[in-house]
Amino acid sequence: MQSVNDYYSAIQLRSDRWSALRAATAALARDPSGRKADAQRKEVERLFDALALVETYWAFPGVQAFDHLRRQFEHGNLDDLAFGTHRAARALTTGAYRRRHIPLDRDSADAEDHEDEAMLSPEARALARPYFEVMIVDDLNEHQERWLRNNVQRMRRPEDPFIYETVVVPSLEDALIGILFNHNVQAVVVRPGLSLKSKTELPILKRYLNRAGGAEGIEALKAEDYGPELCRLIAKVRPELDAYLVTERSVEEIAGLDLGICRRVFYNQEDFLELHLNILRGVQSRYKTPFFTALVEYSKQPTGVFHAMPISRGKSISRSHWIQDMGAFYGPNIFLAETSATSGGLDSLLEPHGPIKKAQELAARAFGAKQTFFATNGTSTCNKIVVQALMRPGDIVLIDRDCHKSHHYGMVLAGAQVVYLDSYPLNEYSMYGAVPLKEIKHQLLKLKAAGKLDRVRMLLLTNCTFDGVVYNVERVMEECLAIKPDLIFLWDEAWFAFARFGPTYRQRTAMNAANHLRERLRSPEQAKAWEKQQEKLKDADEATLLKTRLVAPPDARVRAYATQSTHKTLTSLRQGSMIHVNDQDFKGEVEQSFREAYMTHTSTSPNYQIIASLDVGRRQVELEGFEFVQRQVEAAMSMRKAIATHPLLQKYFKVLAAGDMIPAEYRESGVESYYDPHQGWTDIWECWEKDEFVLDATRVTLAVGGTGWDGDTFKTKILMDKYGIQINKTSRNTVLFMTNIGTTRSSVAYLIEVLVEIANELDERLDDASKMERLAFEHRVKALMVDLPPLPDFSRFHDAFRSDQSTTEGDIRTAFFLSYDENNCDYLALDGSIRQAMKSGREVVSASFIIPYPPGFPILVPGQVVSEEILAFMRALDVNEIHGYWPDLGLRVFTEEALDNLVKNKLPKAAE
């Protein structure tokens, strides 16, 4: 049996133990007095002991059925035992227990059909009533528990839209473990009899408890406060759940308490019907999908189409002689749902009043935003909308240079003055990390010293980065607000929508951090801490301010925006994205300009299928996002572990751990890797709470330089052409495997198989290689792993695009439009004319964005001075694709004359 430390997640542990129990009981029943019987008995006993600890948190098979199985073992009814275990394990795997009652004893089961769940048609599954579990928290004896369960069960009615089972746990700690472990739980009923501490000793479950914030300080609670405290803690770890508090305290007392996510307080312990109806209504409010439902209804109505959309209702297809295959491929519904109508129960994305408005409100609730806006043209558009809504020409923005190109174009459109921030480089792997907080503060303090702070409007960062480096969002916002109390933050969470639904991940999302910060800023402790720090830092120099963890003033404004490609990490059709807003001044200051910006970039024919998929994707995450994200992290962790511990794979590959991608100075916890072959899993909660940067474990960067292939060749020639494995990001010597909420254990297993096959082939090839071939291989590996060109920093904007020398902001818009006139541009060859020009003392200035793939972000922007380092990097880059660079012509640069004219103010500035 594997040890607990081998498991990242208790779910996997549970499922593997049930499978092991099924195998062991079957073997024992087959041969009860065989040679191995004694060992098998011990194994069964061990598995029962291990499962007993975790089964208390699940409704199926339930503690009573589990104990019954155990008694059968003790009484030697081995056939019955094997039968019941088989049925339970199978129902857990197929999910059959969600759809029907599963008797575990042979007499009742014989009468049952033995239909194979896997054979159920998708329609039959879709029509089944969704199932969930309700956790009741009360310290009861067996008799009381049965009475309670029966009472709840008696409330079921045939017309109920969902079906649920109950699981009873005794204490506050057990409830916290339970909601983190059992993803079937959708509602928690907290009754007055609950106790405080859990008796469970399983370390993996204790780890769960730590994730709930360790439930610190609960020892000091009075018994009457256990219930309200539990409601508050649930809000912290699984805010999407509903909690119901049953209490004996007075209405007045309860009214003054913070009850977290409690939906309703019940004063009558025995009002089971009310409770039942509330539980169903709570789940229904997450289940409902206003726009998707409206679209389904609309598609059923007979309509005459007299608007310009021949595909609507499939008319242009069904009458066609040549495109029938399209109709056959997609089926009729998608065309029935295609319409340009905004009435008849539908709505307009540009002016929503009906179901789109409601769907957006539900999304705001789900993602912790104050307002949410859907977009049907990806986060590229969302970014431009937010930038245009907030930046006025001349405003200063601080932005990470390796951000997505939509931001750079957004800055051009907005006429912003851009301060580019450099991320820390990972030269060894030819990729960037993220921008250290010290660098951000340094730039803000410089702008302050130059008297320009009032023009600084926004900080824009990518979280998480493509490679999975995650910021400490709340800390960044707080320290920046300490310098500039009304700074606006745009967090590009294109890759991070899923993070909301994992408790560890959630704390580093913009919306959660903004809500937390708002709460903190209101507290008297914050005001005190700020005053104290102000006193201490009265005459502090910059070095001290950079070293100090700054406290934001209590009157700072929390103004955070997040853009998410829902389609990248959650269920949505391609291009489905969301903008989440948590800005205290949105209504007062931004709403109008936001509307204009939204109109500027949004199509007047937005695709309804995308909007409907965003609505359904929101339903999914509110009901099962927690489970899916947990499974995703688990799949990624098992992939990391499998590669890190496989002797053959270690020879050619390396999974980059936090220690490889985040320098030690940004990892205060000192944690190097989330998995260690000797110690098992680290509890990542602690580093996620503390460290300046952490690594999103679901993005697995594999160093492949050891194979002699560069990242791009490995991606296209090996993974794609030979094995049909698709990935989209590489660096010179790495490839990135992204897991998602659809990644299964089998897909991970396939990838490992492929890597092992590649490693085996390499082994064989090197075995047969001549000395020369071997030498050539070693040279290739060295070139990929050791001789790497250092990544260049942002050089600077040319003086023609700067207002003065004191700070680094540049007018990218003027530079961008200056290049529209070919007469202002020249082409210089990388190795010839540029070098000569630079030797002669000329400042060579790029007229275009130069974006090599990989790494996929601009190494030059319009108006930027070309440096020796940038040239060296470009020459060393052996990638085929460099956007903005024409190998036949050379680098597009500004003529000296154009720049001179600009400096002399001969050319009007495009920004004005």
Which spans of this chain sit near ligand PLP (rule: CB under 6 A)?
A: 378-380, 404, 406, 462, 466, 492, 494, 565, 577
Nearer to ligand PLP by Cβ, of 168 and 497: the residue is 497
> Concatenated DSSP letters for 623-660?
HHHHHHHHHHHHHHHHHHHHHHH-HHHHHH-EE--HHH
- Residue closest to ligand PLP when measured from CB atoms: 378
Question: Position 629: which residue type?
Answer: V
Nearer to ligand PLP by Cβ, of 175 and 736: the residue is 736
Residue of 750, 506, 744, 676 lying closest to 15 (CA atoms) = 744
Q: How many CA atoms lie within 13 A of 419 on its CB side?
A: 28
Distance CA 253, CA 695 (A): 44
Distances (CA, A) of 714 to 701, 723, 731: 13, 11, 11
- Which residues 6+ apart lie within 8 Å of 83 measured at CB? 104, 105, 106, 109
> Concatenated DSSP letters for 596-629?
HHHHHHS-SS--HHHHHHHHHHHHHHHHHHHHHH
Nearer to ligand PLP by Cβ, of 239 and 852: the residue is 852
**Beta pairing, strands 242-246 & 262-266:** parallel
Q: How far is the CB of 581 from ligand PLP (least distance, A)?
A: 17
Q: How far is the CB of 374 from ligand PLP (least distance, A)?
A: 12
Nearer to ligand PLP by Cβ, of 817 and 853: the residue is 853
Nearer to ligand PLP by Cβ, of 240 and 400: the residue is 400
Nearer to ligand PLP by Cβ, of 84 and 468: the residue is 468
Nearer to ligand PLP by Cβ, of 464 and 762: the residue is 464
Q: How far is the CB of 703 from ligand PLP (least distance, A)?
A: 21
Distance CA 235, CA 241 (A): 8
Q: How far is the CB of 423 from ligand PLP (least distance, A)?
A: 13
Q: How far is the CB of 670 from ligand PLP (least distance, A)?
A: 29
Distance CA 588, CA 311 (A): 42
Contact 210/533 with Cβ under 8 angstroms?
A: no
Distance of CA 205 to the CA centre of its chain: 23
Distance CA 489, CA 90 (A): 49
Contact 364/580 with Cβ under 8 angstroms?
A: yes
> Concatenated DSSP letters for 820-837?
TSGGGEEEE-TTTHHHHH
- List, in sequence order, every residue forming a beta bridge with 190; answer none if it has no partner: 137, 245
Q: How far is the CB of 568 from ligand PLP (least distance, A)?
A: 6
Q: How far is the CB of 384 from ligand PLP (least distance, A)?
A: 10
Cβ burial, residue 473 (10 Å; 0-12/13-18/19+): buried
Nearer to ligand PLP by Cβ, of 492 and 692: the residue is 492
CA angle 797, 803, 804 (to 5 degrees): 85
Distances (CA, A) of 567 to 614, 740, 760: 8, 11, 36
Q: How far is the CB of 53 from ligand PLP (least distance, A)?
A: 42
Nearer to ligand PLP by Cβ, of 741 and 902: the residue is 741
Helices vs strands, H then E, count in the chain? 39, 27
Q: How far is the CB of 614 from ligand PLP (least distance, A)?
A: 12
Nearer to ligand PLP by Cβ, of 403 and 815: the residue is 403
Nearer to ligand PLP by Cβ, of 533 and 577: the residue is 577
Contact 379/566 with Cβ under 8 angstroms?
A: no
**CB neighbourhood size of 189 (10 A):** 23
Contact 173/215 with Cβ under 8 angstroms?
A: yes
Cβ burial, residue 254 (10 Å; 0-12/13-18/19+): middle
Residue position matching structure tokens 């103010």? 905
Q: How many CA atoms lie within 13 A of 667 on its CB side?
A: 18
Residue of 748, 675, 701 lying closest to 756 (CA atoms) = 748
Nearer to ligand PLP by Cβ, of 406 and 733: the residue is 406
**Dihedral over Cα of 511, 514, 517, 519: its sign:** negative
Q: How far is the CB of 624 from ligand PLP (least distance, A)?
A: 23
Residue of 199, 168, 179 lying closest to 59 (CA atoms) = 168
Nearer to ligand PLP by Cβ, of 727 and 829: the residue is 727
Nearer to ligand PLP by Cβ, of 507 and 577: the residue is 577
Nearer to ligand PLP by Cβ, of 14 and 404: the residue is 404
Q: How far is the CB of 720 from ligand PLP (least distance, A)?
A: 19
- Which residues 6+ apart lie within 8 Å of 270 measured at CB? 151
Question: Whole-angstrom distance between the N-terminal and C-terminal Cα of the chain?
Answer: 72
Q: How far is the CB of 437 from ligand PLP (least distance, A)?
A: 19
Nearer to ligand PLP by Cβ, of 443 and 565: the residue is 565
Nearer to ligand PLP by Cβ, of 198 and 462: the residue is 462
Q: What is the 3-state secondary structure (H, E, C) of 706-718?
A: HHCCCHHHHHHHH
**By three-state DSSP, how is residue 456 classified?**
strand
Contact 574/505 with Cβ under 8 angstroms?
A: no
